[in-house]
Structure 1
């Protein structure tokens, strides 16, 4: 499946395998992130910060390779799936150790998947389709479905709201013991200062060649420190000066500064994904479809993207949920995208009986492009006649507030173009925004149940058309992401969620 990740300056960012193989273990790196993750429980949050950090600590049964195909990770092989698509027999790898020294068994896997179905938004997506999860041996388990469910493997492989395997004895909600099977383990967390991970010497890597998130994960570095740096300019200065070994989320207008740096170099993911405005369909004014249409009509995507990214090389004005080149690309429904017409929006507001209450928009300056888009959106909404209450929070607080439908009307976020559309947050009925009506299910349920890829591709057109007719989310466009890595760092593979196994540093 084509994911179209292209890397600018590729020759500068890929170290020669012969050099890497000669590197000895060692080194400490500092990774600057946009802020403090709201939790280290990867099941409990869809925040990218959580997945980026915790993927080093915890692992899933399956994962994605470099082409975004599902491959085994903690599972020994791909599952044996029955002809009717209702049973998945999974064999686990032998002698996999948790960070506390205990050995992973099927009892841990079953309990973890059941917890995932109970508390994770993506687990809740899968739960209605799952009849039971049961151990069939010390290293084997079976997932039995009520009906065929095509996205199951992708959901089990995803590191966002992830189905990680935890020691059964440590299961709790909230999670109190941060113990996984990953190549790194938690040593210390100091709020707003750092999250310190150290190499787990008991880690058992797979034997296959590294590919994407899969294959051999080698813990070469001694230590990885994730450092919250909420201010975008501070992150930039730290990247340019060499203070940080990897720096996440840098504004595109700083590309030339990074290119000129003697300490760091730019890393570009093209395309990264899409910024979106999520509507609250559970409570408040956005429960009105006519008002959601008014928002849809009022906003001007091109102006928001220009404000957010500046350089046209870093964005595309595109309403399709997947860009051209992806198997899921379709133009169904996109005639509703991008009109930027406040006068037409005003008519819809009158039809809906808009009462003048402020539209409460949650955003964060830790993702500076979110904030810039929010500012432009607010002006267009005001031009249409909306009152606007723009509320700016740190990202951890925003993710907490969006869980309460009484506190907001729209929040701004972003995400990559995932391998399966079911992995988009809004596909889950329980994702904040809570799009869970009959119109959605009429379009989405056949798509989820269909096992044949070509038929699913055709069915996705109806999903996208319903997405625009129901307007649960406003897609702003496509964007490329800019980060930075130190020239002393080697073998970092560009990814929406950067990972640092198989990575070496010249700094010892």
Structure 2
């Protein structure tokens, strides 16, 4: 429906032009990003795409004084772009429109991840006229420039999209699509089997494996941008010992975890970044012998706890995007640690309770998740380590703090890859937490539906989906 100036390349976290006709021109100091717009592009309501429309789409989300700002509904965008009315954590200081086809973002400081910020859904460009009309008559603001346009909405139930005949790019392969909201995985599977839908996502690994064996369905997978990690609270001895943390990391058998619970729908947590990230280095961790009980016991003994220790492990009661196997992962971790002499007390808690306790540091160990919400390593690591000084792990590292700041302001892929490799080596040495696995995206479709590939950010392009009817 809606598109941004840039988008993620299929199968990668790399950013490529969309409504912008080319890569941005970035000033020498990294604070001015100039984009030139494609000519002749129109919104679904027939109004033209202009630089002022781009500015409108961003400012109405960033600026609480904007006439079309909606309080309480713009928090994600303000994290991406900041608030130009304050000097606190500002990212975008201003947006200039020197002519109808040129947009210049003026940043408060260099920010390497800014291009990826512009590729997420919150950066989509919408029709100013549609937003103004929606404020008056309550109609949808989902009026963009994309290959599909909104044909009907049933709030909380479904959205019907139809092909946009005026689309500036390659036309969609299908004429229309209905997006249905089905909250329970078992109901999504039932709808698929009863031919009430053609495609379903968010199914557990065991269901995916079962459907993959059927001649009726095809499962398409791709790496994702979420990681399942074992949080270790450094404020709780002996988890403040690097030897103990390394012993815990070695005690957990990654391959068995994959084989028994995640099947083929996750990548083992050898490195410190989702494998789909172009900056992922995956250093020495791959050579470790995970599941090595004897080495784990040796490290515990060196740390002064030869007989093991008692620790509480918090687990969510429901599966999450980063952990489709749910509480079973924590149970498997507990089994592996018990085999090394630890006494593990498993705490099963609902999401809202777990979120509060992790934020307050009221836990010892927890099976948790991290998300690269913009496909950038700085965002993923910020989810885990904050700024390197303040985080839920109670992990303090001046070196990590400096490296994360360097990564955020560094412009240029080779330089950022080198910095990421440095950070991964530091994390591998200190083991502030334990990467368990990186969940893969998985979509099940009926055999006649053709899904070429999934976007690593979960933003699969529906215009690339096709239908093949048997003769």
| Fold equivalence (TM over 0.5) | yes
- Aligned residue number for residue 326 of structure 2: 370
After superposition, give the CA deviation of every residue in 1:369-412 in whole Å (9 maximum; x if it has no partner).
2332132234456763454322245xxx699x469824975453
Matched-pair contact (CA < 8 Å) for 1:302–1:317? no
SS of the residue aligned with 1:290? coil
Runs of at least 5 residues in structure 1 that lack an aligned partner in the other structure: 1-56, 208-215
Matched, 1:179 2:142: yes
Matched-pair contact (CA < 8 Å) for 1:99–1:179? no
- Aligned residue number for residue 448 of structure 1: 408
Q: Distance in 2 between matches of 1:135 and 1:439?
A: 40
The one of 3, 18, 37 equivalent to 1:92 is: 37
Matched-pair contact (CA < 8 Å) for 1:218–1:502? yes
Q: Distance in 2 between matches of 1:237 and 1:486?
A: 13
Matches within 5 A, 1:190-269: 190-191=155-156, 194-199=157-162, 201=164, 204-207=166-169, 216=170, 218=172, 220-231=174-185, 233-253=186-206, 257-269=210-222
Matched-pair contact (CA < 8 Å) for 1:488–1:506? yes
SS of the residue aligned with 2:218? strand
Matched, 1:59 2:3: yes
SS of the residue aligned with 1:59? coil
Matched-pair contact (CA < 8 Å) for 1:63–1:72? yes
Normalising by the residue count of structure 2, what TM-score does the alignment of the two structures yield? 0.69
- Give 1:104 deviation, angstroms: 4.4
Q: Distance in 2 between matches of 1:292 and 1:176?
A: 56
SS of the residue aligned with 2:240? helix
- Aligned residue number for residue 329 of structure 1: 281
Q: Distance in 1 between matches of 2:26 and 2:266?
A: 42
- Aligned residue number for residue 306 of structure 1: 259
Q: Which has the higher contact order (CA 8 A, sep 6+)?
A: 1
Q: Distance in 2 between matches of 1:108 and 1:472?
A: 45
Q: Distance in 1 between matches of 2:191 and 2:326?
A: 22
CA change 1:205–1:247 in 2 (3 A) is same
Q: CA RMSD in A?
A: 4.9
SS of the residue aligned with 2:118? helix
Matched-pair contact (CA < 8 Å) for 2:7–2:16? yes
Runs of at least 5 residues in structure 2 that lack an aligned partner in the other structure: 64-73
Matches within 5 A, 1:65-464: 65-66=9-10, 68=12, 69-94=14-39, 96-98=41-43, 103-114=48-59, 115=61, 119-120=75-76, 121-123=79-81, 128=90, 130-159=92-121, 162-166=122-126, 178-181=141-144, 182=146, 183-185=148-150, 187-191=152-156, 194-199=157-162, 201=164, 204-207=166-169, 216=170, 218=172, 220-231=174-185, 233-253=186-206, 257-269=210-222, 271-272=223-224, 275-277=227-229, 279=231, 290=240, 297-298=247-248, 300=252, 301-310=254-263, 315-316=267-268, 318-319=270-271, 321=273, 323=275, 328-331=280-283, 338=290, 358-362=312-316, 364-365=318-319, 368-380=324-336, 384-393=342-351, 401=355, 405-406=359-360, 409=363, 410=366, 412-413=368-369, 420-424=376-380, 426=382, 429=386, 438-464=398-424
Count residues in correspondence: 425
Matched-pair contact (CA < 8 Å) for 1:319–1:334? yes
- Give 1:316 deviation, angstroms: 3.9
SS of the residue aligned with 1:477? strand
- Give 1:225 deviation, angstroms: 1.9
- Give 1:358 deviation, angstroms: 4.8
SS of the residue aligned with 2:180? strand
Matched-pair contact (CA < 8 Å) for 1:381–1:388? no
SS of the residue aligned with 1:413? strand
Matched, 1:494 2:454: yes
Q: Distance in 2 between matches of 1:287 and 1:167?
A: 55
Q: Distance in 1 between matches of 2:45 and 2:243?
A: 52
After superposition, give the CA deviation of every residue in 1:232-255 in whole Å (9 maximum; x if it has no partner).
x55445445544311224445556
Larger Rg belongs to: 2
Q: Distance in 2 between matches of 1:176 and 1:441?
A: 46
SS of the residue aligned with 1:465? helix
SS of the residue aligned with 1:150? coil
